[in-house]
Amino acid sequence: MADADQLANNPLLKTSGLPDFAAIRPEHIVPAVRYIVKDATEKLEAIEKELAPTWEGSLGQLEKLDPPFEYGWKPVGHLFGVLNSDELRVAYETVLPEVVQFGLRASQSEPIYRTLKQLREGPEWSRLSEAQQRIVTDRIKGAELSGIALTGEKRERFNAIEQQLSQLSTEFSNHVLDATKAFSLDITNAGDAEGWPNTLRNLSAKSWNTAHKDVATPATPANGPWRITLEPPLFTPFMEHCRNGALRETLYRAFVTRASSGELNNDPLITRFLALRQEKAKLLGYQNFAEVSLARKMAPNVTAIRKMFADLRSAAWDAAVRDLDDIRKLKESRGESSQMNVWDVAFWAERLREDRYSYTDDELRPYFPFEKVLDGLFQLLGRLFEVTIQQQTDVSIWHPDVRFYRVHDATGQHIASFFLDPYSRPENKRGGAWMDDCLGRRVTNGHVQLPVAHLVCNQTPPHGETPSLMSFREVETLFHEMGHGLQHMLTKVDFADCAGINGVEWDAVELPSQFMENWCYHRPTLLSLTGHYQTGEPLPEALFEKVRAAKNYRAGSMMLRQLLFGMTDITLHSDFDPNGKETPHELNQRLSQQTSVLPLLPEDRSLCSFQHIFSGGYAAGYYSYKWAEILSADAFSAFEEAGLDNPTAIQQTGRRFRDTVLALGGSRHPMQVFQAFRGREPQVAAILRHSGLG
């Protein structure tokens, strides 16, 4: 057990203010987390003895167990994503099972479960607010889904499955991380770098230098050598711009077979994941894992999801066939064979984009310096939601690139804050972008703890004297994560369990994020984000028109790609037999016949790096992106109907959005929240119209 030395001044044990990120070291983790779990276990046992079927006598007491985890465990998970190291990983993995064990202990507490059921059937129920009722109901359902009704051997088996799934998840994502790090492609022939955008030259030369520290002649962007990896900031532009098809093939094959062989092979893990989830579903009395997932979602059942896929697929297929035809013709017109390989698609699609819209990512980047984008985004938030945002610099952070901002309402009152970790940092930061809660809004004895969000992106970092110049996609990503952040920060709910994004059904949680992306195509908003980093000149009108026209470029193909991910996921978790003849990859191939105009490679193993559904919590839930996109497109269309260029109408509609979707969070069913904002149920017309497919 921990001795006093390891606990004194341990930054993970503070319980007020902001977490002290700069002070946290891997050696703090094990003693602090063990202490927190032990203390919480003792308190939980004491609460269980005094339970009463009232709010104060049950959840009112249990809420008090959360803050130590919020300060002592959440930051560890956060640093695991943004400041990974061997030491941190070992410490994290040492205590993870103990935290999972405590979570199970609390969610499977029979006295609590019985008391909450009494509360739901007792006299106090009708006096609880809707938010409180949702929390109780969700907690009962959660308890039932975590095996509360199971006894004896079944209960033991269930707990063992949960532990194994949690370890599998960590193992799966470590394999992807390590496999991504293990691969690189050094380009030494200057001819192979012809036609590359400058950002790719810069990043790949820097990447080569990081890998070859002791050489006499370092790489330069102009003359190389250049080092390409499977990290998206290098992989994506390389696939779009490298003229050497053989090199593209090498990189593409490495990408779609990541973590599929040797020590880092995720294949056996996938089989175990699916078998364990299936077994878990049966133990709980469901037919399959998809039913377990949908038990707490907005979508009513698998049939409704299949119908959504079918509607979107039929609207997208012909467009995708035309997309492929277009790039084949272009390839032929440049004197090449019409044979189109999967590793050619991104390259020729990018050539056609240049042809049609004649601009490149690199032409746009200089107009999107990070500071200008951020300033424009903050002003938009002011117009829409009447908030002002100010940077604060005296805050403890985990890396010098990280910033901290305070959010104030129209009266100047401080209502929330957020950390922003903007740049790609492949050596210790997970890829992709995400929003996470740092601190949730909660009210204790009249004291309000304000919500604090983490916004994490992986955009192009500054280089030498050049500031971070964002690609258009990176701008959209920032808007997306800010949308999540707004729901976390602008919540008005006082109960942490359904404040902000907490308690929001998964398939409705992407509503605010995807909603925010729409603003990147609104002319005045977009222009306000731009200012050439050398001249200050806004994005030229003609260039904006091209960006807007390019928005729906290959929309059918993009739609089908997302549908394949979603269909594979829901099918693996409903109709798939882990002991049957068809492998998960074969199933993916079979479904791809409906969604991939150009067949996948037979050896495609992209499921082995499909972190969303194996280590990211989206199991039988990937469909949520499209489900929520229908909601978000329809929500944005309310602003279009009000008149995007009418400031008063925008402010009024913005206030209604803030007071419903952003403020209510998980305190009401998402269908009711949506109707409160939109005045009716969601319709698919807007998503099809926005993507040029309907």
Binding residues vs Zn ion (CB under 5 A): 510, 513
Residue pair 641/680 in contact by the 8 Å Cβ criterion: no
Map tokens 């004895």 to a residue: 445
- Cα gap 415→428, rounded to integer Å: 32
Nearest to 208 by CA among 178, 189, 176, 184: 184
- Cα 219 to chain centroid, rounded: 34
Burial bucket for residue 360 (CB in 10 Å: 0-12, 13-18, 19+): middle
How many CB atoms are located within 10 Å of the residue 154 CB?
Answer: 13
Q: How many residues does the chain have?
A: 694
Q: Using CB atoms, what's the residue nearest to Zn ion? A: 513
**Residues 591 and 564 sit within 8 Å (Cβ to Cβ):** yes
Ramachandran assignment for 116, one of left (phi > 0), alpha (psi -120 to 50 degrees), beta (any other): alpha
Phi, psi of 300 (to 5 degrees): -75, -35
Distances (CA, A) of 568 to 403, 589, 621: 38, 9, 11
- Tell me the CB-side half-sphere exposure of residue 592, using CA atoms within 13 A: 19
556 in Cβ contact with 317 (< 8 Å)? yes
For 563-624, the DSSP string reads HHHHHHHHHHTTT--TTSSS-HHHHHHHHHHHH-SSPPPTT--GGGG-HHHHTSS-TTTTTH
Place of tokens 């028109």: 545
Q: How far is the CB of 257 from Zn ion (least distance, A)?
A: 27
- Burial string for 376-386 (b: 16+ CB within 10 Å, else e) reads bbbebbeebbe
Tokens linked to 579: 């002991």
Both structure tokens of 4: 């006093």
Min dist CB 434 to Zn ion, Å, is 7
- CA angle at residue 303 from 299 to 305, to 5 degrees? 50
**What contacts 336, CB < 8 A, 6 or more positions away?**
none
Distance CA 400, CA 478 (A): 19
Q: How far is CA 155 from the centre of its chain?
A: 32
Show the beta-strand stretches assigned E in 323-475: 388-391, 403-408, 414-423, 434-439, 442-444, 447-449, 452-459
Catalytic residues: 481
Secondary-structure breakdown of the chain: helix, strand, coil percentages, each rounded to the nearest 5: 60, 5, 30
Shortest CB 171 distance to Zn ion, Å = 25
Q: Which two tokens stand for residue 387?
A: 């908030």
What are the two backbone dihedrals, phi and then psi, of residue 223, each rounded to the nearest 5 degrees? -115, 0
